Amino acid sequence: MAIDAVPGPITEIVMNAPPVNALTAAGWHELARAVRQAGEDPETRVVVLRAEGRGFNAGVDVKELDADESLMVEVNRGCFAAFAAVYECAVPVIAAVHGHCLGGGVGLAGNADIVLASEEAYFGLPEVERGALGAATHLARLVPQHLMRAMVYTCRTVSARELHAFGSVLEVTSRDSLRAAAFDLAGRIAAKDPEVIRRAKESLNGIDPVDVRRSYRFEQGFTFELSLLGKRRGLA
């Protein structure tokens, strides 16, 4: 199973799609459902989103797209649904990031309320090398504008330590301590009045200066355009 959800006051949602947690179209939709169901459950107070394996998330399963180009629509819809589910989740979502956080992984982390990361974690958008675009909307929530542009154009990555310096990663821990740190933070949030926390999440989204759904949907249009022009490439 690519997505495993353990319900409770702190609902843990775990991505586990070896070898690199690159999700198929179905996997993105499955993740979206899991996050939405967690937020709709009145017993849930916080969601911890994390992964098993080599890294947090490597984005889209390009091998699936290479095998069937017609899946582009469902892949894009799945990514849109998953990012929106994290952003719109009725309770705070804590992303616990280890290893690589690339492409769609940046979309997940960028839409989370709080990001914790392990010391070896790194973040980036390799889309230009794939002949695609997307998730700059979410990268812009993690890094300053000019760095975001440089990262898009060059496909360079940034470390968890760099993001901690910007304040977009709250805490950097060892890989072994990451889950415990996420649950410690989640426990502190879960101890608050749950109705107040839900209203806080709603109010913070309401004052966000960027409509992330519309912004990301605009980006996705260019991915379709590049695909139609024959520019999309898989990565080895």
- Would you say residue 97 has pLDDT above 50? yes
- Which CATH number do you get for residue 13? 3.90.226.10
> Residue 44 carries which DSSP code?
-
State the Cα angle at 155 between 168 and 228, rounded to 5°. 115
Q: What is the pTM of this model?
A: 0.95
SS3 133: coil
Residue 98: exposed, middle, or buried by beta-carbon count in 10 A (0-12, 13-18, 19+)? Answer: buried
Give the pLDDT of residue 231: 82
**Range of the structural domain that residue 69 is part of:** 3-177+193-228
Does 86 reside within a domain? yes
Give the pLDDT of residue 68: 86
Half-sphere exposure of 32 (CA within 13 A, CB side): 21
Label the pairing between strands 114-118 and 171-173: parallel
Taking the C-alpha atoms of residue 86 and residue 115, their distance in angstroms, rounded to an integer, is: 12
SS3 236: coil
Give the pLDDT of residue 1: 58
Does 186 reside within a domain? no
Taking the C-alpha atoms of residue 137 and residue 102, their distance in angstroms, rounded to an integer, is: 14
Q: What percent of the chain has pLDDT over 90?
A: 86
Does 213 reside within a domain? yes
Domain count along the chain: 1
Does 183 reside within a domain? no
Does 29 reside within a domain? yes
Does 235 reside within a domain? no
Does 184 reside within a domain? no
**pLDDT tens digits for range 11-48:** 999 999 999 999 999 999 999 999 999 999 999 999 99
Alpha helices for 57-144 (secondary structure H): 62-67, 72-88, 104-111, 136-139
Taking the C-alpha atoms of residue 61 and residue 63, their distance in angstroms, rounded to an integer, is: 5
Does 53 reside within a domain? yes
